[in-house]
Amino acid sequence: MEPRNDTSTRPSPALADYGLLGDTRTAALASADGSIDWLCAPTFDGEPVFGALLGGPDAGAFRAGPALPARRLVRRYRPHTATLETVWATDGGTLSLTEAMVAEVSGRLLPTTLLIRRLAADGAPAEAVVDLDPRLGERHLRPRVRQGRPLIYEWGALAMSLGCSGGIRVEPGTTTAITVSPGRPVVLVLALAYAEPLICVDPETAWDLVEGDEKRWRDWSSGISQDIPFREPVLRSLLTLKLLTYSPSGAPVAAPTTSLPEDPGGVRNWDYRYAWPRDASIGIGAFLGAGKDGEALNFLNWLLHASRLERPRLPALLTLTGGHVPRERTLWNWPGYLGSAPVRVGNGASHQHQLDGYGWVLDAAWNLVRHGHRLNSETWRAMRGFADLVARRWPEPDAGIWEVRADAAHHVHSKVMGWLALDRALRIARTHRVSARRQRRWETARNNIAAEIRDQGFDPSRNTYTRTYGSAGLDSALLILPVTGFEEPDSARLRGTVDAVRTELSAGFPFLYRYPPGQDGLPGTEGAFLPCSFWLAQALAMTGRAAEASELFEALVAIAGPLGLFSEEIDPATGAFLGNHPQALSHSALVQVALALRDAATQEPPVPPAPGSAAGRLGLDHIHEF
């Protein structure tokens, strides 16, 4: 055992090189050199116990890997699982690190959070190191260490232990050198517990838990539709979305991280460890199309529970349990990733009025109905309330989908999504009870929105819808138009809009900006927004240009990180990932493109169920399944 190596000069790994480990309650980011640089406890939005990603070496990390710099041979997820594997070349052989978090802990005497890492040598003994330095929260608090086997690290109600096979003892804040012999792997078992007894798992048998979890992931993956094009990247995206879903409530987090910069060195750093109803609703479509109805039902169940306190108002974002998102504040003395400060927790967009969210949610409900799931009375009551609010408030300006922190405006995308909310409510009303008077109110509002959009949100000289009423700027969110049915697929206005956005907001093939750079009131710039590129491919597929869509999609799939993960943005000049990582919206949008290409190939759009269909009821008693 020796003093911990000085990591202050360690260069920040590229975001694309970080792998996601998760247990559907929290998640870790693991670098390519074997370091866990981000892990919050006990949930996605908890305080970090390893925060080096944003806080530098003083914020803690957990490294296991070769003692000396070594050439990396392999870095991959085991097929159709959430287990990450890294292999380095060593003198006379190889050293491998295989790591995973255990997702299924119910019904067994296991800690809620269990991270298992195994070092194994092949060909010759390998020299390795284990460096455990946990620090909690904003002030990088060191734990109180309780002696025993294993050592227990405590911060009040939060406790951690690290068990090691072979009798190896790891002291916090030091580097432990070990020799890994062929046929005798070293297993490290990190357990976390909050306000409950800490259960220590025997390292000699812990690997069985990983193998059991792998079988469950493979079984889950085998249930994904076989006819989806680009099935492997789709499957990895769905696995990622599953890992980013908080299983106790069904809430999907937008990303497991906060404050990874959209502009390195700048201030565009936001906390995405919360649940956006918009993102949840897009995820519903992705899971439904892939044959995973259970996950889609869980998303809507969460939404029904989470929105109950403010209904019929739909907050732009919520906590994992449906509460108010904490006020936005800055963590002082956190340097940020690549020197990008401030590092923020909480999110100031939680109080914004965003009309588009209602459209996404009502569309998600309609997707469930047309796939054969009848809404129960409480769910339909909530959806009716959302539609009533849209019918009343649609003339007001809103913050828009991009949450620009400026004055509200009449965003065309928001108005279209308001139209969508009422259109989908009217479709659901064909098979669900609602008064004729209410239907007439919805229909009148829907028609008025459509007339106003076509009059004030369209530029006839350029044949395109615009970002806001009367403006010349464009908005990549308008690429969602083909999905809504607001225009027919062969509409000249629709095609003109898709072509204008593709041309005027291009960041160089295959990338797009969200809106004209420099028009959001913040200093600095941002990268190309990856979901927008996927939306363009989807729009092309849905407007009869499947060959162009496939070409674009292939180019986008090719720029995925080495592990098949996507951040929210990319630097179009360098290809470097920007923003929070991995981002659920990017992966949901990827799946939607594949589904659109499948539908374009078959030319058989889904048929809504017949009225009175004997479909399963959607209710809060739906059971979460792994």
- Name the DSSP letter for residue 430: T
* Residue 23 placed within a domain: yes
CA distance 182 to 291: 43
- Scanning 394-430, the segments in alpha helix (DSSP H) are 412-428
CA distance 158 to 193: 6
* Residue 303 placed within a domain: no
- Assign residue 113 the CATH number of its domain: 2.70.98
* Residue 98 placed within a domain: yes
- Name the DSSP letter for residue 143: P
- Count of the separate structural domains present in the chain: 1
* Closest to 503 (Cα-Cα) out of 515, 492, 512, 494: 512
* Chain segment 474-507, per-residue pLDDT in tens: 999 999 999 999 999 999 999 999 999 999 999 9
Residue 132: CB partners within 8 Å, gap ≥ 6?
Answer: 62, 162, 170, 171, 172, 173, 176
Paired tokens of 558? 């090719």
* Residue 369 placed within a domain: no
Q: For 5-26, b where at least 16 C-beta lie within 10 A, e where not — what string?
A: eebeebebbbbbbbbbbbbbbb
Paired tokens of 174? 């030091």
- Name the DSSP letter for residue 570: E
In terms of residues, how long is the chain?
Answer: 626
pLDDT for res 299? 84
* Residue 517 placed within a domain: no
CA distance 381 to 312: 10
CA distance 329 to 347: 8
Reading phi first (left if > 0) and then psi (alpha if -120 to 50, else beta), residue 75 is in beta
pTM score, two decimals? 0.93
Contact 284, 296 (CB under 8 A): yes
Contact 61, 52 (CB under 8 A): yes
Burial of 251 (0-12, 13-18, 19+ CB in 10 A): buried
Paired tokens of 383? 């959806």
CA distance 84 to 72: 14
pLDDT for res 9? 59
CA distance 32 to 328: 31
pLDDT for res 623? 28
* Residue type for position 531: P
* Residue 290 placed within a domain: no
Owning domain of residue 148:
2-219
* Residue 483 placed within a domain: no
CA atoms within 13 A on the CB side of 258: 26
CA distance 216 to 211: 9
**Residue numbers in the chain where pLDDT is lower than 50:** 1-7, 605-626
Residue with tokens 């900006």: 513
* Residue 300 placed within a domain: no
Contact 224, 242 (CB under 8 A): no
* Closest to 293 (Cα-Cα) out of 346, 364, 345, 243: 364
